[in-house]
Structure formats: C-alpha cells, structure tokens
Amino acid sequence: MTQKELDRYREILLEQKLKILNGGTIQAGEDLKISPDDLPDEADIASNVINQEVSLSIRNREMAKLRQIEEALHRIEHGYYGQCEECDEPIGKKRLEHQPFTTLCITHAEEREREIMHQRAQFF
Ligand SMILES: [Zn+2]
C-alpha cells in the first residue's frame, strides 16, 4: 500500500472519529441501525426508559466503533494497516474504502459473521 493510500484511509478514519466525538450520531451507516434485539422485552416499561436504553446502545456501538478506528489508526502508524488478522493477506481496497477500520479480509469477515449467526441460532 502506498503512502498516499495510507494518508487517504487515515483521513477517512479521522473524519469518522470526529463525527462520533462531535455526537453527530445518526447517519445512514449500517452500524447504527437499531435492531429489535436492542429493545427490552417488557412491554410495560415507560417509553422514555426504552429511549434511554436505545440511545445507550447506540452510544455503546459508537464507543466500539471509536475503538476500532483508534486501532486502525494505530495500525497505520505501525505499518501493518490493511492486512487481514487471520491470514495476513491484504484486505481489498474497496472493502477498506467502505470500512476503513476492518481487520479482516472479506473471506474471514464472512466466516466470522457465519460463526456469530451460528452462535445466535444456538442461543435462541
Ligand atoms: Zn483473511
């Protein structure tokens, strides 16, 4: 990966970081969608409590994303950005454009997703 490309990804990451830090929460990004899992089950809970829960959950996601961004910036600084942590292969550039903080190539990202889905299926 060239220095120019690294600079570009760093720029994207810093932009995303700023967005989170400035509290500009909601955007169309898939990471911020509220799923039914985030809502408590008890139907009689006052709606403001539900709202608190939801915003807390969004906040948690943002914190998690912030950590991923920090780690990606760290990888850029230390010269191993853009490598899959499972197989050390370069992560596709299109994928990095879309998710500059990812640590997995598409193959391993899909694999991990399947594992998570599998675990969820067992849980329910
Ligand atoms: Zn991989």
Domain holding 92: CATH number?
A: 1.20.120.910
Task: Please calculate the CA angle 72-10-19 and round it to the nearest 5 degrees.
Answer: 85
pLDDT at residue 74 in the model: 96
Pairwise pLDDT comparison (52 vs 75), residue with the higher score: 75
Cβ-in-10-Å burial (0-12, 13-18, 19+) of 95 comes to middle
Lowest mean pLDDT among 28-32, 56-60, 108-112: 28-32
Please state the domain count of the chain. 1
What is the span of the domain harbouring residue 94?
A: 3-123
Q: How much is the average pLDDT of 106-118?
A: 94
Cβ pair 66, 17 in contact under 8 A? yes
Distance, CA 105 to ligand 1 centroid (Å)?
4
Q: What pLDDT does 29 receive? A: 47
Q: Is 61 helix (H, G, I), strand (E, B) or coil?
A: helix
Predicted structure pTM score: 0.68
Whole-number mean pLDDT of the chain? 84
Percentage of the chain exceeding pLDDT 90: 57
**Per-chain residues with Cβ under 5 A from ion ligand 1:** 84, 86-87, 105, 108
Distance of CA 39 from the midpoint of ligand 1 (Å): 33
Position 48 pLDDT exceeds 90: no
Is residue 72 within 8 Å of 99, Cβ to Cβ? no
